[in-house]
Structure formats: C-alpha cells, structure tokens
Amino acid sequence: MDSTHSNPMSLCSQADSQRTLYPYVTGTSVIGVKYKDGILMAADMGGSYGSTLRYKSVERMKPIGKHSLLGASGEISDFQEILRYLDELILYDNMWDDGNSLGPKEVHSYLTRVMYNRRNKFNPLWNSLVLGGVKNGQKYLGTVSMIGVHFEDNHVATGFGNHLARPILRDEWHEDLSFEDGVKLLEKCMRVLLYRDRSAVNKLQIAKITEEGVTISQPYSLKTFWGFSAFQNPTVGAEGSW
C-alpha cells in the first residue's frame, strides 16, 4: 500500500497545506529616492481590507540593522513575516561579532532570494519591497517584487507609485538633491497618489537614512485642493460610458 495512504497524519498535513491565494490587509505605494546625503523614503499609513480603508496607523517603513531601511507595500502580515526573517538574519550576523555588518546590498540580495524562493513554492510573500541604505559612503537603493523581480535605481516606487510617481521623479530628480528638495519632491508624488489612488490616505511618514542612521518622521498630512474642475464633474466628456 502507498505510504501516504497508510499514514492518516500525512493526509492531514497535505489537506492543511495553505497558500496565499490573495492578500487580506494591504498597504499601497512606497517611494524611495537617493539624495545628497543618503536615501529618502515615503509611505502612507493606510491598511486596506479589500477596498475598505480599515487601518489608519500602519507603519510600513522599518530600519534593518545598522545600514538599511525597508519599505513595503502589499500584504501587511507578510511584511511582518519578512521583518521576522530579517531580525533573525541581523541577529545571526551580530553573533559573529567580527566588526563587520550586513550592508544594504547584502540585505537586498537576501530579500530577492527569499521572494523568489517563495514564488517557486507557489506560496509568495505578497509584497513589493523598497530597500535603501548607506554604508561606507555608498548609497544603495533597490526594489524587489513578490515574484523576485529586482533592480537598483536612483529612484524607485511600488504599486500605483510606479505608474504615477516615477514619471515625476524622472523629470525632477537630480543627483545633488538636498534634503529639503527631496522631501518636497516626495510630497509632490504622494499628493498625486492621494488624488488618484483610492487606497491612499492623507497620513504619511517620510524616512531618511544616512551614515548617521535612520530617522522616521512622525505621521503628518499634506495640504490638498479638491476644487479642480476635473474633480467637480469627473464624468464630463464621458457620456454613454458606464
């Protein structure tokens, strides 16, 4: 007799095997840019349950070790799982106590392997991640998707931000961006997303990482203007469409 059929426990374990078929509570876009002294990152604090804006105080940017900053969009519980993996990684690295520590390039590389590994098990971690950092004067900014697609760039964005924010960043980003100009640029992008992305909320944080370490701002709101004519009559010119 087949060994799987002879053991009722193995039948249970097969039946109980679960996959992430769709995300439950999700965060929307994260935007990251290089600036003169390091990396700036922005994300709002909304957690959507389907299309319901269920949670309004979800922190989606976290420091990782001494040199890295991680932002995530997508499933919040999967992000928490990734943070657990990274805590373990950083702890293991610190236990060597050899005067060296993992930099952003290594952490990004690790995340690409984790995401691609889970994708190959058909049980992905349902996130898009932005990883930035500074080590030995070198700035690093990269992204990785839920199926392991990854790249580095001077500015990156996830989710809706990839469509709506990156064109602005391509036009206005430059290498010697000051901290103040970098924050203004991120706020401009976040405002566009607030107008156009139904999952965005007007409560955001901006984080920076330099050689000195990570600073994450207190949550704050942007000034908005909803009096644009396109907002007053959104269906004009679209008669007959549903």
The residues assigned a catalytic role are 20
For the chain, where are the E strands, in sequence order?
25-27, 30-35, 38-44, 47-49, 52-55, 61-64, 68-75, 127-135, 138-144, 150-152, 155-157, 204-210, 213-216
213-to-25, 63, 82, 111, 186 alpha-carbon distances in Å = 30, 9, 21, 21, 20
> Using an 8 Å Cβ cutoff, are 76 and 25 in contact?
yes
Among 122, 93, 125, which residue's Cα sits nearest to residue 106?
93
- CA angle at 25 for the pair 23 and 31, rounded to the nearest 5°: 90
CA–CA gap between residue 184 and residue 167 (Å, rounded): 16
What three-state secondary structure class fits 185? helix
Beta 52-55 vs 204-210: how paired, if at all? unpaired
